[in-house]
Amino acid sequence: MRVTVRDFSIGRGHPLVFIAGPCVIESHEGCLKLAEKLKGIFQARKIPFIFKASYDKANRTSVHSYRGPGMKEGLKILADIQRQLNVPVLSDVHETEDVPFAAETLDVIQIPAFLCRQTDLVMAAAKTGKPVNVKKGQFLAPWDMKPVVEKIRSVGNEQILITERGASFGYNNLVSDMRSLVILRDLGYPVVYDATHSVQLPGGQGNVSGGERKMIMPLARAAVATGCDALFLEVHETPEKALSDAATMLPVNDLPRLIEQVVEIHRIVPCE
């Protein structure tokens, strides 16, 4: 099965696709500037790209943490990026009633990992007919995603992406089991590997999450070698100054080197 986003497809036999952008929208100007830079990087290499940014981070560790501009303003910013740069956009939804509004703008609707078993939310996203990227919860085994996929399929939506983003391993730690990519792919839909959230240390710094940025590139290479159809990467001009997930975002200047490595790996890895 393949998923179509605008003029490109995601799935076996197709080029590796990248979903990239900041964790959260910090400002209109900053988001547009980063999106423009990313478009230039991917366009120069003729690589399919979806811009991602959250308009609301509803699951921050602390009540004092920055959440984003909110749905109304955030969707306006994403619509501007979509229109000015002609790139597809992705963001996550947290409330069922927000889905119809988000669907008016988003090319891909994302279900956050913590909400992947929220039936009403998943079904609402599926009913839009838009591609749905559902993240596997850190608390689930890969085979537990089959019922989630069936929920989306039950309303006739076959445009499904499944994202692996690590599994809980003790306290304040995640581990990436590359076998998960194989098992998820056997469900018949394209699989995405989230190389930045997979290196999180959830709540590892008390009131914020920590992370191991140095592991992003090795795990991205391993995932593509194992077999995935897209890479999800949160990137930032200056990650250490980011308002969310500062410890786990990839510096945008490191992105070209990662792209060159994983695209070459994807080229030589068999489709099956």
What tens digit of pLDDT does each residue of 39-68 get? 999 999 999 999 999 999 888 778 888 999
What tens digit of pLDDT does each residue of 77-89 get? 999 999 999 999 9
Q: Which one is the CATH code of 3-268: 3.20.20.70, 3.40.140.10, 3.30.160.620, 2.40.160.20?
A: 3.20.20.70
- Give the helix/strand (H/E) hosting 174: strand 174-175
User: What is the structure's pLDDT at 61?
Assistant: 79
Is the pLDDT higher at 35 or at 208?
Answer: 35
CA-to-CA distance for 127 and 235, rounded, in angstroms?
30
Specify the DSSP class assigned to residue 24: B
What tens digit of pLDDT does each residue of 158-171 get? 999 999 999 999 99
Number of residues that make up the chain: 272
Give the relative orientation of helices 119-127 and 146-153 as an angle to the nearest 10 degrees: 40
Contact 91, 74 (CB under 8 A): yes
Lookup result for tokens 């990087």: 41
- Span 17-25, average pLDDT: 98
CB atoms within 10 A of CB 266: 17
* In the chain, where the domains are located: 3-268
Q: What is the mean pLDDT of the chain?
A: 95
What tens digit of pLDDT does each residue of 179-216 get? 999 999 999 999 999 999 999 988 766 666 778 999 99
CA-to-CA distance for 23 and 201, rounded, in angstroms?
15
CA-to-CA distance for 267 and 16, rounded, in angstroms?
9
Return the exposure string of 121-152: e unless at least 16 CB atoms fall within 10 Å of the residue's CB, then b: bbbbbbbbebbbbbbbbbebebeebeebbebb
User: What is the structure's pLDDT at 204?
Assistant: 63
The three-state secondary structure class of 102 is helix
Q: Taking the model in full, what pTM does it have?
A: 0.96
User: What is the structure's pLDDT at 31?
Assistant: 98
CA-to-CA distance for 132 and 130, rounded, in angstroms?
6
User: What is the structure's pLDDT at 138?
Assistant: 96
